[in-house]
């Protein structure tokens, strides 16, 4: 389709951030993304739409076309287009423009607000700004969350069963007069209460209902300790694991400090394996 050399040039500008052109492209992209999100938000405010509706519509279209050009360029610039198209960012990039085109083709629908999915494009900020330190931090977060996944799933499953039962009990106690119009609404209220959100759109009015809600609240107050405990324990485990990988070849002691040159146990000189990394 296009000569290999221009493809490589394009790849350098779009996917890399080492050349001045690449840096400029990435920063410009970031600015356009932020503008596009703000535009979608402002368009939803009735008073602003009335006055600046036309300008916002034009801006929307300009941004959508820019994003479309960028999307096509990304496909062209990469050697294996499919791997980009099917990647996380590839799908988000597509969904950042598609709703606008669907809106013209099928006028009845109004998918424009789906464009707020563009917010996910902001995740690129980490790569663009070369915030390696932050990427490391976010990886540590993700690893810790991933490892506590099974426990968190069990915990959530138990909480949901609890909420179904407590919601039904509250429905039987309070009834439609207090706003507990049906069991799904009662379960909604139970979760609002258990998570300590407490909107107050529905509140118990019978003494028994208030007594049961007190129990639900205290449970919620205690239950919040469980995910916190899980994640904290996992974080600390990660920390220890990070300090943990080296062993003394002489006495086999482990848990050396990160910058240790000698074994703290036998005084043997530790080989600096990390030099090679």
Is 245 an interacting residue with respect to a second copy (CB under 8 A)? no
Nearer to a second copy, 100 or 256 (CB): 256
Residue 72, CA distances (Å) to 40, 65, 90, 170, 205 in order: 23, 11, 11, 55, 60
Nearer to a second copy, 10 or 219 (CB): 219
- Kindly tell me which residue out of 31, 61, 150, 245 binds a second copy, with binding defined by CB under 8 A: 150
Backbone dihedral angles phi then psi of residue 198, each to the nearest 5 degrees: 60, 65
The span of 21-29, 61-69, 99-107, 253-261 binding a second copy (CB under 8 A) equals 253-261
To a second copy, the closest distance from the beta carbon of 67 in angstroms equals 17
- Kindly tell me which residue out of 201, 206, 245, 271 binds a second copy, with binding defined by CB under 8 A: 201
To a second copy, the closest distance from the beta carbon of 173 in angstroms equals 10
The mark string for 49-88 relative to a second copy (x by CB under 8 A, - otherwise) is ----------------------------------------
* CB-based contact 81:87 (threshold 8 Å): no
The span of 11-19, 28-36, 55-63, 224-232 binding a second copy (CB under 8 A) equals 224-232
- Kindly tell me which residue out of 141, 206, 245, 271 binds a second copy, with binding defined by CB under 8 A: 141
- Choose among 187, 39, 182: nearest CA to 119: 39
- Choose among 116, 69, 120, 71: nearest CA to 92: 120
The span of 17-25, 59-67, 72-80, 201-209 binding a second copy (CB under 8 A) equals 201-209
Is 19 an interacting residue with respect to a second copy (CB under 8 A)? no
- Choose among 40, 46, 72: nearest CA to 59: 40
Is 35 an interacting residue with respect to a second copy (CB under 8 A)? no
Residues between 157 and 196 with contacts to a second copy, criterion CB under 8 A: 157-159, 161, 164-165, 167-168, 171-172, 176, 181-185, 187-188, 191-193, 195-196
What's the N-to-C CA distance of the chain in angstroms?
40
The answer to whether the Cα torsion of 70, 74, 76, 81 is positive or negative is negative
Residue 269's beta-bridge partner residues? 262
Residues between 204 and 223 with contacts to a second copy, criterion CB under 8 A: 207, 210-211, 213-214, 217-218, 220-222
Is 241 an interacting residue with respect to a second copy (CB under 8 A)? no
- Choose among 121, 133, 96: nearest CA to 111: 96
Is 227 an interacting residue with respect to a second copy (CB under 8 A)? yes
- Kindly tell me which residue out of 153, 206, 245, 271 binds a second copy, with binding defined by CB under 8 A: 153
Give the SS3 label for residue 245. Answer: coil
Residue 147, CA distances (Å) to 46, 133, 144, 150, 234 in order: 45, 21, 5, 7, 7
Residues between 254 and 273 with contacts to a second copy, criterion CB under 8 A: 254-269, 272
* CB-based contact 73:83 (threshold 8 Å): no
């Amino acid at each position: 389709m296009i000569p290999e050399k221009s493809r490589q040039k394009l790849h350098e500008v779009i996917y890399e951030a080492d050349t001045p052109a690449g840096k400029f492209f990435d920063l410009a992209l970031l600015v356009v993304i932020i503008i596009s999100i703000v535009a979608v938000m402002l368009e939803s405010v009735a008073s602003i739409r009335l006055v600046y509706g036309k300008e916002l519509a034009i801006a929307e279209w300009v941004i959508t076309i820019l994003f479309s050009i960028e999307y096509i360029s990304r496909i062209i610039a990469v050697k294996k287009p499919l791997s980009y198209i099917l990647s996380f960012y590839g799908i988000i990039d597509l969904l950042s423009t598609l709703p606008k085109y669907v809106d013209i083709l099928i006028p009845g629908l109004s998918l424009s607000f789906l464009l707020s999915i563009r917010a996910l494009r902001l995740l690129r900020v980490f790569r663009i700004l070369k915030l390696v330190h932050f990427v490391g931090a976010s990886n540590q977060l993700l690893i810790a969350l991933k490892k506590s996944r099974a426990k968190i799933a069990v915990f959530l499953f138990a909480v949901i069963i609890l909420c179904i039962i407590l919601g039904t009990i509250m429905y039987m106690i309070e009834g439609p007069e207090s706003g507990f119009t049906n069991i799904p609404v009662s379960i909604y209220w139970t979760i609002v209460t258990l998570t300590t959100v407490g909107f107050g759109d529905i509140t118990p009015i019978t003494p028994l209902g208030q007594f049961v809600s007190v129990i639900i609240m205290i449970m919620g107050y205690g239950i919040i300790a469980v995910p916190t405990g899980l994640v904290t324990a996992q974080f600390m485990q990660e920390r220890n694991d990070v300090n943990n990988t080296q062993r003394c070849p002489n006495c086999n002691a482990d848990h050396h400090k990160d910058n240790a040159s000698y074994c703290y146990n036998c005084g043997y000189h530790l080989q600096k394996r990390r030099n090679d990394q």
